Amino acid sequence: MKKIVPEKLFFKPVDIWKRQWFLLTAGTMEDCNMMTVAWGSIGCMWNKPFAQIVVRPQRYTLQYLEKSECFTLCSFPKKYHDDLLHLGTVSGRDCDKLAGTSLTLKESSSVISPCYEEASLILECRRIYSQNMDPACFITDTGSKVYPDRDYHRIFFGEIVEAFGV
């Protein structure tokens, strides 16, 4: 993998979130949890390159994010799609869900949260902001359609401190 200056990242942002997905990982090599994420954004905020993710309150990964100062986002070649599907539907509360995949944890370069050997893109992020989504702020009926159970996401912004790609 080669190091990429975050400001020079080049990919199709809607495609990578909507079709390829990211694997979000928080915690440490010894104790982490991961989940597949398909909603978020990447850009510039507060003069920093950032990745923004959202996690529902019932997700096990949320407790790892809340106690960690960092997280990673990894994208993979298409052949790992079934692994990402598995990691997005099985809870780490119930089993070692990574054991059910062909993915391999590895240490990140500049954050404590791990990344993956098989990744084609790695974003190492340091948390800089989080907030619970406020249902009163929806301008359209999107909120009632996407959140029928009122389980609104918690929003996290992470400064991209390192990026690597193939």
Structure tokens at 73: 């986002």
105-127: average pLDDT: 98
Tokens of 30: 């010894």
Contact at 8 Å (CB) between 33 and 26? yes
The CATH number of the domain holding residue 97 is: 2.30.110.10
Range of the domain at 73: 2-165
Total tally of structural domains belonging to the chain: 1
**What does the alpha-carbon distance between residue 18 and residue 148 come to, in Å, rounded to a whole number?**
21
* pLDDT of res. 90: 94
Pairing between strand 2-4 and 154-165?
antiparallel
Contact present, 114 and 108 (Cβ < 8 Å): yes
Give the pLDDT confidence of 14-52 residue by residue, as tens digits. 999 999 999 999 999 999 999 999 999 999 999 999 999
Q: At 125, which helix (H) or strand (E)? A: strand 121-132
Q: Which whole-number Å values give the CA distances from 113 to 5, 12, 24, 107, 164, in the listed order?
A: 20, 25, 10, 7, 15
Residue 118 confidence (pLDDT): 98
Mean pLDDT over the full length of the chain: 96
